Structure 1
Amino acid sequence: MLCVDISNEGLEQLKIILEDWIPKNASIAVASEDSYIYYSPSIEHLHLTIEDKIHPESVASHVLQTRMKTGIVLDSTIFGKPYFVIGYPIYLSQKNAALIIIFPSSYTPEKKEPYKFLTGKQEDLWTPVPVEEISHIESLQKRTWFYANDEQFKTNYTLKELQTKLPEFFVRVHRSYILNIYFIKNITKDITTNFIIQLKNGTELPVSQSYINDLRRLLEF
C-alpha cells in the first residue's frame, strides 16, 4: 500500500514518480472520503473539468469501499463521458484514498481471453461456475451477485469490471444488470414503452435507455 504526504508538495512528488510508468497524456486524480482532492490533467484532458464529488458508481468509489485495486475499465462518471481508468488504494496522511489514472482517448486495453467461469461465494463455500450457466448478474446494495441453476452467488467483481471480461453473449442492459442473451425468453414493452426482458426462469429485468441501443445492436431488432 502506497503512503504519501497529503500536502500539495507530496502529491506533486507522487505525480513525478508516476510519470515514469503511466502512458503518455494520461491524467492523475486522487480521491478521499467523498471528493476528488487532487487533479493533474494531461494535455489531452485540459479542456475537461473533473467532478468535485465522487460518483457512487465510479472507480474511485469502488476503490475507497473495497480497498482493492480496480483493473482498467470504462468509467463515464469522472468527466461525464467514458474514459479508460484504473484505480489503486493508497493512504494520504493515514487516511484512505484512491489514486486514479485516466488514460488518453486513444488508449486501447490489451485484449485478454474472456472469463470461462466465475467463482461465487455462498456463506463459507466458494464454487467455480462456468459462465455459460450464468443467466444474469446483478448489482444490489453495493455488492455483485450472479445467478446460475436457480442459485445466487456473490462475487467480488463489479459490473464495470465484468463488462469487459465476459464473453460477447453477455450484455449490459441496466446500471444494475448484465445478462446472458441465451437465457432470454422474450422482450416486451411495459405501459410506459420501456423494454422489459423476461428470462426463461420467469425473472424480469428492465432495460434502461442508456443500454437499449447496445441490446438492439447485439440482437438485431
Structure 2
Amino acid sequence: MRYVITGASRGIGFEFVQQLLRRGETVDAGVRAPELARRLEPLLLEAGHRLRIHPLDVTRADSVQAFAERICREPVDVLINNAGVSGQWVGLHELDYEDLARTIEVNALGPLRITSALLPALRHGAGRKVAHVTSRMGSLSSNTEGGAYAYRMSKAALNMGVRSMSNDLRREGLACVLLHPGWVQTDMGGQDAPLPAEESVRGMLRVIDSVSLEHSGRFFDYEGAEVPW
C-alpha cells in the first residue's frame, strides 16, 4: 500500500512514517522545509525506495501543486493529512489575529488543498481513504473551558470541511474520516502529555485500517471510539 503523510518530519507525522515503514508499506512524506527532512534520513537507509521525502508547505498553492505533480505519477491508497500548528493559546483580549488566520490556513485550509490536489491519484488507489488528524478541541459539544481560540476554531473548521468532503467524495467511493490522536507527547503536546506518540499512532492506524465507506464523515479517537461533534 502507498501512503502519503503531511507534516512528516516530527511528532505524530514522524511516528506514522516509522510505523508504516516497519510494516512494509511505501510512504511519501511531505515536510515543510528541507532542513526538517534530516530526521527522516536515517529511515531512508532502512527503507530505501519505500520512502520518498518531498518539500511541502500546505499554505502555498505553488508548493502544493509541485507536491501533487510528483505524487500523482502513481496511485495513492491512503492520504493522512497530519500537518498542523497549535497557534497561540491566549484569552480573547490577547488574540493575535494574524496568528489566528495562519492557524486556520494551516489546520483547516491545508488539508482541503492537499486532498483536492491528490484526488487523481486517490481515485486510482486500492485503499481509497483520506484520514485527517484533528482534535477533540474542535468539538463544539466538548468545549466547556473556552480559550485556545486559534486551535479550537481551526480544528472545528477542519471538521466541518471534512464532513462536506465526505459527502462529495462518497460518490466516488472515497472514505474520509477525522481522527483525534489524544494528548500526545510531542513538541506540540509537551512532555506533560500522558500518551506516547507510538501508542497514539498505533491506535490511529488500527482505525484507518478498519475504515470503510460506511464510516465516511465520522469522527473517531485513537482507540476507535466516536467523538461527539
TM-score with structure 1 setting the length: 0.25
Higher relative contact order (CA 8 A, sep 6+): 2
Q: Which has the higher strand share?
A: 1
Q: Which has the higher helix share?
A: 2
TM-score with structure 2 setting the length: 0.24
